[in-house]
Structure 1
Amino acid sequence: MTNERRVLVHPDKQNLGASVAARFITKIIDVIEEQDYASVVLSGGSVSTLVLAAINRSEARDSVDWSKVSFWWADERFVADGDDERNDKQNGIDLLDHIGVLPENVHRMANTSQAASLAEAATQYQAELKAHAQGDDESPRFDITLLGVGPDGHVASLFPDKPQVLQTSPTVLTIDDSPKPPPERLTLSLPAINNSQRVWLILAGAEKAASLGLALAGAGEDQVPVAGVKGRKRTVFFVDKDAAAEVPEQLIASTY
Protein backbone atom coordinates (compact mmCIF):
# COMPACT_ATOMS: atom_id res chain seq x y z
CA MET A 1 0.00 0.00 0.00
CA THR A 2 1.71 3.18 -1.18
CA ASN A 3 -0.83 5.83 -0.14
CA GLU A 4 0.63 8.00 -2.86
CA ARG A 5 -1.06 11.41 -3.13
CA ARG A 6 -1.00 13.64 -6.17
CA VAL A 7 -2.64 16.92 -7.13
CA LEU A 8 -3.39 17.49 -10.81
CA VAL A 9 -4.43 21.02 -11.75
CA HIS A 10 -6.62 21.83 -14.75
CA PRO A 11 -7.22 25.29 -16.23
CA ASP A 12 -10.99 25.32 -15.72
CA LYS A 13 -14.00 23.29 -14.64
CA GLN A 14 -14.89 22.01 -18.10
CA ASN A 15 -11.36 20.84 -18.81
CA LEU A 16 -11.32 19.16 -15.40
CA GLY A 17 -14.44 17.12 -16.09
CA ALA A 18 -13.28 16.02 -19.54
CA SER A 19 -9.82 15.06 -18.26
CA VAL A 20 -11.11 12.94 -15.37
CA ALA A 21 -13.61 11.26 -17.69
CA ALA A 22 -10.88 10.32 -20.16
CA ARG A 23 -8.62 8.96 -17.39
CA PHE A 24 -11.52 7.04 -15.89
CA ILE A 25 -12.36 5.28 -19.15
CA THR A 26 -8.71 4.38 -19.74
CA LYS A 27 -8.21 3.04 -16.22
CA ILE A 28 -11.44 1.03 -16.17
CA ILE A 29 -10.46 -0.65 -19.44
CA ASP A 30 -7.05 -1.50 -17.95
CA VAL A 31 -8.60 -2.90 -14.76
CA ILE A 32 -11.07 -5.07 -16.69
CA GLU A 33 -8.28 -6.41 -18.88
CA GLU A 34 -6.30 -7.30 -15.76
CA GLN A 35 -9.02 -8.92 -13.62
CA ASP A 36 -12.12 -9.23 -15.85
CA TYR A 37 -14.24 -6.91 -13.70
CA ALA A 38 -14.11 -3.49 -12.07
CA SER A 39 -15.88 -1.91 -9.12
CA VAL A 40 -16.63 1.79 -8.88
CA VAL A 41 -17.97 3.93 -6.03
CA LEU A 42 -20.07 6.96 -6.96
CA SER A 43 -21.24 10.02 -5.07
CA GLY A 44 -23.41 13.00 -5.95
CA GLY A 45 -22.83 16.69 -6.48
CA SER A 46 -19.93 17.86 -8.62
CA VAL A 47 -18.76 14.32 -9.35
CA SER A 48 -22.00 13.50 -11.11
CA THR A 49 -22.54 16.76 -12.94
CA LEU A 50 -18.91 17.11 -14.01
CA VAL A 51 -17.40 13.66 -14.40
CA LEU A 52 -20.22 11.19 -15.03
CA ALA A 53 -21.85 13.46 -17.58
CA ALA A 54 -18.47 13.89 -19.30
CA ILE A 55 -18.00 10.10 -19.41
CA ASN A 56 -21.41 9.78 -21.02
CA ARG A 57 -20.53 12.40 -23.66
CA SER A 58 -17.17 10.82 -24.45
CA GLU A 59 -16.74 9.14 -27.82
CA ALA A 60 -14.79 6.45 -25.96
CA ARG A 61 -17.68 5.61 -23.60
CA ASP A 62 -18.70 2.45 -25.41
CA SER A 63 -15.15 1.09 -25.50
CA VAL A 64 -15.80 0.00 -21.90
CA ASP A 65 -17.51 -3.34 -21.35
CA TRP A 66 -19.96 -1.94 -18.83
CA SER A 67 -21.41 -5.39 -18.14
CA LYS A 68 -18.21 -6.09 -16.19
CA VAL A 69 -18.45 -2.96 -14.02
CA SER A 70 -20.26 -2.84 -10.69
CA PHE A 71 -21.38 0.40 -9.09
CA TRP A 72 -21.65 1.26 -5.41
CA TRP A 73 -22.42 4.47 -3.52
CA ALA A 74 -20.29 6.40 -1.04
CA ASP A 75 -23.39 8.00 0.44
CA GLU A 76 -27.06 8.45 -0.16
CA ARG A 77 -29.99 10.50 1.07
CA PHE A 78 -32.63 8.42 2.88
CA VAL A 79 -35.63 9.64 0.93
CA ALA A 80 -38.19 8.09 -1.41
CA ASP A 81 -37.21 6.28 -4.59
CA GLY A 82 -37.07 8.73 -7.48
CA ASP A 83 -36.72 11.77 -5.22
CA ASP A 84 -34.59 14.48 -6.82
CA GLU A 85 -32.39 14.42 -3.71
CA ARG A 86 -31.25 10.85 -4.41
CA ASN A 87 -27.67 10.60 -5.63
CA ASP A 88 -28.53 7.47 -7.60
CA LYS A 89 -31.21 9.34 -9.55
CA GLN A 90 -28.78 12.03 -10.71
CA ASN A 91 -26.07 9.44 -11.39
CA GLY A 92 -28.58 7.60 -13.56
CA ILE A 93 -29.45 10.71 -15.54
CA ASP A 94 -25.79 11.57 -16.03
CA LEU A 95 -24.45 8.10 -16.88
CA LEU A 96 -25.96 4.84 -15.61
CA ASP A 97 -29.18 5.06 -17.63
CA HIS A 98 -27.16 5.28 -20.86
CA ILE A 99 -24.74 2.37 -20.60
CA GLY A 100 -24.98 -1.42 -20.62
CA VAL A 101 -24.55 -1.97 -16.90
CA LEU A 102 -26.26 -5.09 -15.55
CA PRO A 103 -29.01 -4.43 -12.98
CA GLU A 104 -27.44 -6.90 -10.54
CA ASN A 105 -24.20 -4.90 -10.66
CA VAL A 106 -25.86 -1.69 -9.43
CA HIS A 107 -25.68 -1.73 -5.63
CA ARG A 108 -27.92 1.10 -4.44
CA MET A 109 -28.41 2.13 -0.85
CA ALA A 110 -31.99 1.55 0.31
CA ASN A 111 -34.67 4.18 -0.08
CA THR A 112 -37.59 4.72 2.31
CA SER A 113 -39.68 2.05 0.54
CA GLN A 114 -36.98 -0.59 0.93
CA ALA A 115 -36.12 -0.06 4.60
CA ALA A 116 -38.34 0.85 7.53
CA SER A 117 -35.67 3.00 9.13
CA LEU A 118 -32.30 4.60 8.54
CA ALA A 119 -30.68 1.98 10.78
CA GLU A 120 -32.23 -0.86 8.80
CA ALA A 121 -31.03 0.67 5.54
CA ALA A 122 -27.49 0.84 6.95
CA THR A 123 -27.61 -2.79 8.07
CA GLN A 124 -28.79 -3.89 4.62
CA TYR A 125 -25.91 -2.13 2.88
CA GLN A 126 -23.35 -3.43 5.37
CA ALA A 127 -24.48 -6.96 4.54
CA GLU A 128 -24.24 -6.31 0.80
CA LEU A 129 -20.74 -4.88 1.15
CA LYS A 130 -19.65 -7.87 3.23
CA ALA A 131 -21.08 -10.31 0.70
CA HIS A 132 -18.83 -8.86 -2.01
CA ALA A 133 -15.73 -8.34 0.15
CA GLN A 134 -12.39 -10.06 -0.33
CA GLY A 135 -11.08 -12.34 2.40
CA ASP A 136 -11.71 -11.02 5.88
CA ASP A 137 -12.49 -7.47 4.68
CA GLU A 138 -15.82 -5.94 5.62
CA SER A 139 -16.19 -4.22 2.24
CA PRO A 140 -14.92 -4.72 -1.32
CA ARG A 141 -11.54 -3.38 -2.38
CA PHE A 142 -13.09 -0.96 -4.84
CA ASP A 143 -11.06 -0.17 -7.94
CA ILE A 144 -11.99 3.52 -8.26
CA THR A 145 -13.89 5.70 -5.82
CA LEU A 146 -15.04 9.07 -7.16
CA LEU A 147 -15.65 11.70 -4.51
CA GLY A 148 -16.56 15.34 -4.51
CA VAL A 149 -15.39 17.59 -1.69
CA GLY A 150 -17.51 20.27 -0.04
CA PRO A 151 -16.28 23.78 0.81
CA ASP A 152 -16.09 22.62 4.45
CA GLY A 153 -13.94 19.64 3.45
CA HIS A 154 -16.67 17.02 3.81
CA VAL A 155 -16.60 13.87 1.67
CA ALA A 156 -19.53 11.51 1.13
CA SER A 157 -21.71 12.46 4.14
CA LEU A 158 -18.83 12.71 6.59
CA PHE A 159 -18.97 16.26 7.92
CA PRO A 160 -16.51 18.23 10.08
CA ASP A 161 -16.93 17.94 13.84
CA LYS A 162 -19.45 15.12 13.51
CA PRO A 163 -18.77 11.82 15.31
CA GLN A 164 -19.14 9.74 12.15
CA VAL A 165 -15.85 11.08 10.76
CA LEU A 166 -13.83 9.24 13.39
CA GLN A 167 -15.93 6.06 13.50
CA THR A 168 -14.02 3.06 12.20
CA SER A 169 -16.99 0.70 12.20
CA PRO A 170 -19.43 -0.34 10.96
CA THR A 171 -18.77 0.16 7.25
CA VAL A 172 -22.04 2.07 6.77
CA LEU A 173 -22.92 4.91 9.12
CA THR A 174 -26.16 6.78 9.69
CA ILE A 175 -26.57 10.54 9.89
CA ASP A 176 -29.85 11.99 11.15
CA ASP A 177 -28.77 15.63 11.48
CA SER A 178 -26.84 16.43 8.32
CA PRO A 179 -25.86 20.12 8.15
CA LYS A 180 -27.00 19.99 4.53
CA PRO A 181 -30.55 18.88 3.75
CA PRO A 182 -32.00 16.32 3.70
CA PRO A 183 -31.00 15.46 7.28
CA GLU A 184 -31.18 11.64 7.08
CA ARG A 185 -28.33 10.01 5.18
CA LEU A 186 -26.24 6.89 4.84
CA THR A 187 -22.49 7.07 4.30
CA LEU A 188 -19.53 4.77 4.00
CA SER A 189 -17.08 5.12 6.87
CA LEU A 190 -13.59 6.44 6.19
CA PRO A 191 -12.07 2.93 6.50
CA ALA A 192 -14.56 1.62 3.93
CA ILE A 193 -13.72 4.47 1.56
CA ASN A 194 -10.03 3.88 2.13
CA ASN A 195 -10.41 0.22 1.17
CA SER A 196 -10.47 1.51 -2.39
CA GLN A 197 -7.43 0.87 -4.55
CA ARG A 198 -7.71 4.37 -5.99
CA VAL A 199 -9.61 7.36 -4.62
CA TRP A 200 -10.12 10.25 -7.01
CA LEU A 201 -11.26 13.51 -5.44
CA ILE A 202 -12.72 16.18 -7.70
CA LEU A 203 -12.70 19.83 -6.64
CA ALA A 204 -13.64 22.93 -8.61
CA GLY A 205 -14.03 26.54 -7.51
CA ALA A 206 -12.27 29.00 -5.22
CA GLU A 207 -14.56 28.04 -2.32
CA LYS A 208 -12.79 24.65 -2.18
CA ALA A 209 -9.26 26.08 -1.97
CA ALA A 210 -9.02 26.51 1.81
CA SER A 211 -10.20 22.97 2.61
CA LEU A 212 -7.85 21.45 0.05
CA GLY A 213 -4.93 23.46 1.39
CA LEU A 214 -5.67 22.39 4.97
CA ALA A 215 -6.05 18.72 4.01
CA LEU A 216 -2.69 18.67 2.25
CA ALA A 217 -1.03 20.59 5.08
CA GLY A 218 -1.84 17.86 7.58
CA ALA A 219 -5.12 18.96 9.16
CA GLY A 220 -7.02 16.29 11.10
CA GLU A 221 -9.96 14.53 9.51
CA ASP A 222 -12.23 15.61 12.36
CA GLN A 223 -11.78 19.20 11.16
CA VAL A 224 -11.37 18.51 7.43
CA PRO A 225 -12.73 15.02 6.62
CA VAL A 226 -11.06 14.89 3.20
CA ALA A 227 -7.72 14.87 5.02
CA GLY A 228 -8.49 11.31 6.15
CA VAL A 229 -9.01 9.92 2.65
CA LYS A 230 -6.16 7.65 1.52
CA GLY A 231 -6.60 5.02 -1.17
CA ARG A 232 -4.75 1.72 -0.88
CA LYS A 233 -2.66 2.45 -3.98
CA ARG A 234 -3.22 6.06 -4.86
CA THR A 235 -5.12 9.19 -3.88
CA VAL A 236 -5.45 11.80 -6.60
CA PHE A 237 -6.89 15.29 -6.26
CA PHE A 238 -8.20 16.47 -9.62
CA VAL A 239 -8.73 20.21 -9.26
CA ASP A 240 -9.26 23.31 -11.31
CA LYS A 241 -6.98 26.33 -11.06
CA ASP A 242 -9.24 28.15 -8.61
CA ALA A 243 -9.40 25.23 -6.17
CA ALA A 244 -5.60 24.86 -6.31
CA ALA A 245 -4.94 28.38 -5.04
CA GLU A 246 -3.62 27.21 -1.65
CA VAL A 247 -1.85 24.01 -2.72
CA PRO A 248 1.93 24.12 -2.16
CA GLU A 249 3.68 24.06 -5.51
CA GLN A 250 5.78 21.02 -4.59
CA LEU A 251 2.63 18.91 -4.21
CA ILE A 252 1.36 19.61 -7.73
CA ALA A 253 2.12 16.79 -10.14
CA SER A 254 2.83 17.42 -13.81
CA THR A 255 1.38 14.07 -14.88
CA TYR A 256 -0.83 11.29 -13.52
Structure 2
Amino acid sequence: MTAPTRQVVVHRDADEVARATAARLATALATAQSARGEASVVLTGGGTGIAVLAALAASPDRDALDWGTIEVWWGDERFLPAGDPERNETQARAALLDAVPLDPARVHPMEPAGGTFADDADAAAAAYAEELAAAALPEDGASASKVPAFDVLLLGLGPDAHVASLFPGLPGVRETERTVVGVHGSPKPPPTRVSLTLPAIRAAREVWCVVAGESKAHAVARALGGTPETEAPAAGVSARERVRWLLDEAAASQLPAGVRAAQA
Protein backbone atom coordinates (compact mmCIF):
# COMPACT_ATOMS: atom_id res chain seq x y z
CA MET A 1 0.00 0.00 0.00
CA THR A 2 1.36 3.43 -0.90
CA ALA A 3 1.75 6.02 1.84
CA PRO A 4 -1.16 8.43 2.12
CA THR A 5 -0.76 12.04 1.13
CA ARG A 6 -0.91 14.62 3.91
CA GLN A 7 -2.56 17.98 3.51
CA VAL A 8 -2.53 20.76 6.10
CA VAL A 9 -5.02 23.57 5.49
CA VAL A 10 -5.26 26.65 7.69
CA HIS A 11 -8.50 28.65 7.96
CA ARG A 12 -9.02 31.98 9.64
CA ASP A 13 -11.02 30.89 12.68
CA ALA A 14 -13.13 28.11 14.19
CA ASP A 15 -16.31 29.16 12.38
CA GLU A 16 -14.53 29.06 9.04
CA VAL A 17 -13.07 25.65 9.85
CA ALA A 18 -16.57 24.30 10.56
CA ARG A 19 -18.13 25.78 7.41
CA ALA A 20 -15.30 24.76 5.11
CA THR A 21 -15.13 21.24 6.53
CA ALA A 22 -18.89 20.85 6.14
CA ALA A 23 -18.58 21.86 2.48
CA ARG A 24 -15.68 19.45 1.96
CA LEU A 25 -17.64 16.67 3.61
CA ALA A 26 -20.69 17.21 1.42
CA THR A 27 -18.48 17.11 -1.68
CA ALA A 28 -16.64 13.96 -0.56
CA LEU A 29 -19.84 12.09 0.23
CA ALA A 30 -21.48 13.16 -3.03
CA THR A 31 -18.40 12.03 -4.96
CA ALA A 32 -18.51 8.62 -3.25
CA GLN A 33 -22.20 8.28 -4.01
CA SER A 34 -21.58 9.11 -7.65
CA ALA A 35 -18.80 6.51 -7.86
CA ARG A 36 -20.36 3.66 -5.87
CA GLY A 37 -23.97 4.54 -5.15
CA GLU A 38 -23.35 4.97 -1.43
CA ALA A 39 -21.01 6.66 1.02
CA SER A 40 -19.79 6.28 4.58
CA VAL A 41 -18.67 8.69 7.27
CA VAL A 42 -17.32 8.27 10.79
CA LEU A 43 -18.36 11.07 13.12
CA THR A 44 -16.50 12.62 16.01
CA GLY A 45 -17.72 14.57 19.01
CA GLY A 46 -16.32 17.66 20.67
CA GLY A 47 -17.09 21.27 20.01
CA THR A 48 -15.49 21.47 16.58
CA GLY A 49 -16.78 18.10 15.38
CA ILE A 50 -20.36 18.95 16.29
CA ALA A 51 -19.96 22.44 14.80
CA VAL A 52 -19.12 20.82 11.46
CA LEU A 53 -22.39 18.86 11.57
CA ALA A 54 -24.37 21.96 12.49
CA ALA A 55 -22.75 23.85 9.62
CA LEU A 56 -23.74 21.10 7.21
CA ALA A 57 -27.29 21.13 8.55
CA ALA A 58 -27.48 24.87 7.83
CA SER A 59 -25.92 24.62 4.37
CA PRO A 60 -27.75 24.13 1.06
CA ASP A 61 -25.15 21.46 0.35
CA ARG A 62 -27.04 19.05 2.57
CA ASP A 63 -29.88 18.82 0.06
CA ALA A 64 -27.49 17.64 -2.67
CA LEU A 65 -26.84 14.39 -0.80
CA ASP A 66 -28.83 11.17 -0.96
CA TRP A 67 -28.93 10.64 2.78
CA GLY A 68 -30.64 7.28 2.46
CA THR A 69 -27.46 5.74 1.06
CA ILE A 70 -25.04 7.13 3.66
CA GLU A 71 -23.63 4.85 6.36
CA VAL A 72 -22.98 6.70 9.62
CA TRP A 73 -20.51 5.38 12.20
CA TRP A 74 -18.82 6.84 15.27
CA GLY A 75 -15.14 6.97 16.12
CA ASP A 76 -15.74 6.91 19.84
CA GLU A 77 -18.48 7.31 22.40
CA ARG A 78 -18.88 8.26 26.02
CA PHE A 79 -20.26 5.19 27.76
CA LEU A 80 -23.33 6.90 29.18
CA PRO A 81 -27.06 6.08 29.09
CA ALA A 82 -28.96 6.48 25.83
CA GLY A 83 -30.02 10.06 25.25
CA ASP A 84 -27.51 11.51 27.69
CA PRO A 85 -26.66 15.02 26.45
CA GLU A 86 -22.94 14.25 26.76
CA ARG A 87 -23.08 11.32 24.33
CA ASN A 88 -21.62 12.04 20.90
CA GLU A 89 -24.63 10.34 19.34
CA THR A 90 -27.07 12.63 21.15
CA GLN A 91 -25.19 15.73 20.07
CA ALA A 92 -24.84 14.55 16.47
CA ARG A 93 -28.54 13.82 16.21
CA ALA A 94 -29.40 17.28 17.51
CA ALA A 95 -26.89 19.01 15.22
CA LEU A 96 -27.69 17.18 11.97
CA LEU A 97 -28.86 13.59 11.91
CA ASP A 98 -32.45 14.19 13.05
CA ALA A 99 -32.85 16.81 10.32
CA VAL A 100 -31.95 14.62 7.33
CA PRO A 101 -33.66 11.52 5.87
CA LEU A 102 -31.16 8.85 6.88
CA ASP A 103 -31.97 5.16 6.66
CA PRO A 104 -32.07 4.09 10.35
CA ALA A 105 -30.52 0.75 9.38
CA ARG A 106 -27.45 2.63 8.12
CA VAL A 107 -26.89 4.57 11.35
CA HIS A 108 -24.58 2.71 13.71
CA PRO A 109 -24.33 4.23 17.20
CA MET A 110 -22.23 2.55 19.84
CA GLU A 111 -24.16 0.83 22.61
CA PRO A 112 -25.02 3.02 25.62
CA ALA A 113 -24.42 2.25 29.26
CA GLY A 114 -27.40 0.49 30.75
CA GLY A 115 -28.34 -1.01 27.40
CA THR A 116 -27.76 -4.49 26.02
CA PHE A 117 -24.43 -4.81 27.83
CA ALA A 118 -25.38 -3.04 31.07
CA ASP A 119 -22.18 -1.44 32.40
CA ASP A 120 -19.74 -3.57 30.37
CA ALA A 121 -17.94 -1.22 27.98
CA ASP A 122 -15.65 -4.00 26.79
CA ALA A 123 -18.63 -6.06 25.65
CA ALA A 124 -20.07 -2.99 23.92
CA ALA A 125 -16.74 -2.51 22.14
CA ALA A 126 -16.65 -6.15 21.02
CA ALA A 127 -20.19 -5.85 19.65
CA TYR A 128 -19.27 -2.74 17.66
CA ALA A 129 -16.22 -4.54 16.27
CA GLU A 130 -18.52 -7.34 15.09
CA GLU A 131 -20.83 -4.80 13.45
CA LEU A 132 -17.90 -3.22 11.64
CA ALA A 133 -16.59 -6.59 10.49
CA ALA A 134 -20.01 -7.51 9.11
CA ALA A 135 -19.98 -4.31 7.02
CA ALA A 136 -16.46 -4.79 5.64
CA LEU A 137 -16.40 -5.87 2.00
CA PRO A 138 -13.59 -7.72 0.20
CA GLU A 139 -13.81 -5.24 -2.65
CA ASP A 140 -13.02 -2.45 -0.19
CA GLY A 141 -9.68 -4.04 0.45
CA ALA A 142 -10.74 -3.73 4.06
CA SER A 143 -11.38 -7.36 4.91
CA ALA A 144 -7.97 -7.85 6.53
CA SER A 145 -8.60 -5.04 9.00
CA LYS A 146 -12.21 -6.09 9.60
CA VAL A 147 -13.64 -2.61 9.11
CA PRO A 148 -15.20 -0.90 6.09
CA ALA A 149 -13.05 1.42 3.99
CA PHE A 150 -14.81 4.51 5.31
CA ASP A 151 -14.93 7.38 2.84
CA VAL A 152 -14.26 10.04 5.48
CA LEU A 153 -13.35 9.55 9.13
CA LEU A 154 -13.54 12.74 11.20
CA LEU A 155 -11.36 13.25 14.26
CA GLY A 156 -11.00 16.00 16.81
CA LEU A 157 -7.87 16.54 18.86
CA GLY A 158 -7.41 16.98 22.59
CA PRO A 159 -4.81 19.26 24.21
CA ASP A 160 -2.96 16.07 25.20
CA ALA A 161 -2.95 15.00 21.51
CA HIS A 162 -5.57 12.29 22.02
CA VAL A 163 -7.84 11.33 19.14
CA ALA A 164 -11.15 9.46 19.43
CA SER A 165 -10.81 8.13 23.00
CA LEU A 166 -7.21 6.99 22.60
CA PHE A 167 -5.31 8.74 25.37
CA PRO A 168 -1.56 8.86 26.02
CA GLY A 169 -0.48 6.16 28.40
CA LEU A 170 -3.67 4.11 28.24
CA PRO A 171 -3.68 0.62 26.68
CA GLY A 172 -5.96 1.49 23.76
CA VAL A 173 -3.34 3.52 21.92
CA ARG A 174 -1.04 0.48 21.83
CA GLU A 175 -3.70 -1.86 20.44
CA THR A 176 -2.65 -3.54 17.19
CA GLU A 177 -5.25 -6.30 16.72
CA ARG A 178 -8.68 -5.19 17.95
CA THR A 179 -10.58 -2.55 16.02
CA VAL A 180 -12.67 -1.28 18.96
CA VAL A 181 -11.80 -1.17 22.66
CA GLY A 182 -13.38 -0.25 25.93
CA VAL A 183 -11.56 2.65 27.57
CA HIS A 184 -11.25 2.81 31.34
CA GLY A 185 -9.77 5.56 33.45
CA SER A 186 -9.99 8.28 30.82
CA PRO A 187 -8.35 11.46 32.12
CA LYS A 188 -11.22 13.38 30.52
CA PRO A 189 -14.66 12.64 31.97
CA PRO A 190 -16.51 10.43 31.73
CA PRO A 191 -13.87 7.83 32.62
CA THR A 192 -15.46 4.97 30.65
CA ARG A 193 -15.70 5.10 26.88
CA VAL A 194 -15.69 3.00 23.71
CA SER A 195 -13.28 3.84 20.91
CA LEU A 196 -12.00 2.78 17.53
CA THR A 197 -8.32 1.90 17.61
CA LEU A 198 -5.57 3.20 15.37
CA PRO A 199 -5.78 0.13 13.08
CA ALA A 200 -9.47 0.85 12.50
CA ILE A 201 -8.85 4.55 11.92
CA ARG A 202 -6.13 3.78 9.37
CA ALA A 203 -8.58 1.71 7.30
CA ALA A 204 -10.44 4.86 6.20
CA ARG A 205 -9.89 6.19 2.72
CA GLU A 206 -9.51 9.67 4.17
CA VAL A 207 -9.01 10.85 7.75
CA TRP A 208 -9.68 14.48 8.57
CA CYS A 209 -8.33 15.96 11.80
CA VAL A 210 -10.46 19.03 12.43
CA VAL A 211 -8.93 21.30 15.07
CA ALA A 212 -9.53 24.83 16.31
CA GLY A 213 -8.21 26.90 19.18
CA GLU A 214 -4.91 28.00 20.67
CA SER A 215 -5.22 25.34 23.39
CA LYS A 216 -4.69 22.70 20.68
CA ALA A 217 -1.62 24.28 19.05
CA HIS A 218 0.96 22.31 21.06
CA ALA A 219 -0.91 19.07 20.42
CA VAL A 220 -0.96 19.77 16.68
CA ALA A 221 2.78 20.44 16.79
CA ARG A 222 3.44 17.17 18.60
CA ALA A 223 1.23 15.17 16.26
CA LEU A 224 2.90 16.55 13.14
CA GLY A 225 6.39 16.74 14.61
CA GLY A 226 7.18 13.07 15.08
CA THR A 227 6.24 12.49 18.72
CA PRO A 228 5.70 8.75 19.36
CA GLU A 229 2.03 7.76 19.10
CA THR A 230 2.06 6.29 22.62
CA GLU A 231 2.76 9.83 23.88
CA ALA A 232 0.70 11.69 21.26
CA PRO A 233 -1.90 9.31 19.79
CA ALA A 234 -2.68 11.73 16.95
CA ALA A 235 0.83 11.10 15.63
CA GLY A 236 -0.32 7.57 14.76
CA VAL A 237 -3.17 8.71 12.52
CA SER A 238 -2.95 7.52 8.94
CA ALA A 239 -5.31 6.52 6.12
CA ARG A 240 -5.52 4.55 2.90
CA GLU A 241 -5.36 7.60 0.66
CA ARG A 242 -5.15 10.95 2.44
CA VAL A 243 -4.88 12.57 5.87
CA ARG A 244 -6.17 16.12 6.07
CA TRP A 245 -5.42 18.48 8.94
CA LEU A 246 -8.04 21.24 8.85
CA LEU A 247 -6.95 23.92 11.32
CA ASP A 248 -7.70 27.46 12.31
CA GLU A 249 -4.87 29.98 12.63
CA ALA A 250 -4.71 29.55 16.40
CA ALA A 251 -4.36 25.76 16.24
CA ALA A 252 -1.74 26.13 13.50
CA SER A 253 0.35 28.69 15.39
CA GLN A 254 3.04 26.19 16.44
CA LEU A 255 3.38 24.07 13.29
CA PRO A 256 6.81 22.41 13.17
CA ALA A 257 9.38 23.68 10.72
CA GLY A 258 9.10 21.77 7.50
CA VAL A 259 5.35 21.20 7.68
CA ARG A 260 3.85 22.79 4.60
CA ALA A 261 0.43 24.36 5.11
CA ALA A 262 -1.99 25.88 2.63
CA GLN A 263 -3.83 29.03 3.63
CA ALA A 264 -7.52 28.67 2.81
Secondary structure at 2:50's aligned position in 1?
helix
Distance 1:11 1:118 in 2: 39
Q: Which amino acid aligns with 1:20?
A: T
Does 2:129 correspond to 1:126? Answer: yes
Does 2:172 correspond to 1:158? Answer: no
Q: Which residue of 2 aligns with 1:82?
A: 83
Distance 1:109 1:247 in 2: 34
The structural deviation recorded for 1:248 is: 3.7
Q: Which residue of 2 aligns with 1:71?
A: 72
Q: Structure 2 matches for 1:11-50, cutoff 5 A?
A: 11-50=12-51
Distance 1:48 1:16 in 2: 10
* Structure 1 pair 212–56 and aligned structure 2 pair: CA distance change class (3 A): same
Distance 1:47 1:240 in 2: 11
Instruction: Describe the superposition over 1:144-194 as per-residue Cα deviations: whole angstroms up to 9, x where unpaired.
Output: 001100111000000011121011121111112111111111000100011
Q: Which residue of 1 aligns with 2:237?
A: 229
Secondary structure at 2:102's aligned position in 1?
coil
Distance 1:15 1:219 in 2: 28
Q: Structure 2 matches for 1:147-226, cutoff 5 A?
A: 147-226=155-234
Check conservation: 2:7, 2:243, Cα contact below 8 A.
yes
Distance 2:30 2:263 in 1: 19
Check conservation: 1:48, 1:94, Cα contact below 8 A.
no
Check conservation: 2:14, 2:48, Cα contact below 8 A.
no
What TM-score results when the alignment is normalised by the length of structure 1?
0.96
Q: Which residue of 2 aligns with 1:2?
A: 3
Structure 1 stretches of 4+ with a deviation exceeding 3 A read none
Secondary structure at 2:262's aligned position in 1?
coil
Check conservation: 1:46, 1:202, Cα contact below 8 A.
no
Distance 1:107 1:89 in 2: 13
Structure 1 unpaired stretches of 5+: none
Distance 1:41 1:51 in 2: 13
Distance 1:2 1:27 in 2: 20
Q: Which residue of 2 aligns with 1:108?
A: 109
Distance 2:48 2:70 in 1: 18
Q: Which amino acid aligns with 2:15?
A: Q
Distance 2:70 2:260 in 1: 31
Secondary structure at 1:60's aligned position in 2?
helix
Distance 1:114 1:82 in 2: 15
2:246 to 238, 241, 252: 238
Check conservation: 1:148, 1:202, Cα contact below 8 A.
yes
Distance 2:127 2:262 in 1: 42
The structural deviation recorded for 1:253 is: 3.6
The structural deviation recorded for 1:254 is: 2.8
Check conservation: 1:22, 1:55, Cα contact below 8 A.
yes
The structural deviation recorded for 1:63 is: 0.5
Q: How many residues align?
A: 256
Secondary structure at 1:40's aligned position in 2?
strand
When structure 1 is superposed on structure 2, of 10-19 and 42-51 the one drifting more is 42-51
Check conservation: 2:49, 2:155, Cα contact below 8 A.
no
The structural deviation recorded for 1:59 is: 1.4
Q: Which residue of 1 aligns with 2:92?
A: 91
Distance 1:49 1:228 in 2: 23
The structural deviation recorded for 1:66 is: 0.7
Percent pairwise identity: 41
The structural deviation recorded for 1:83 is: 0.7
What TM-score results when the alignment is normalised by the length of structure 2?
0.93
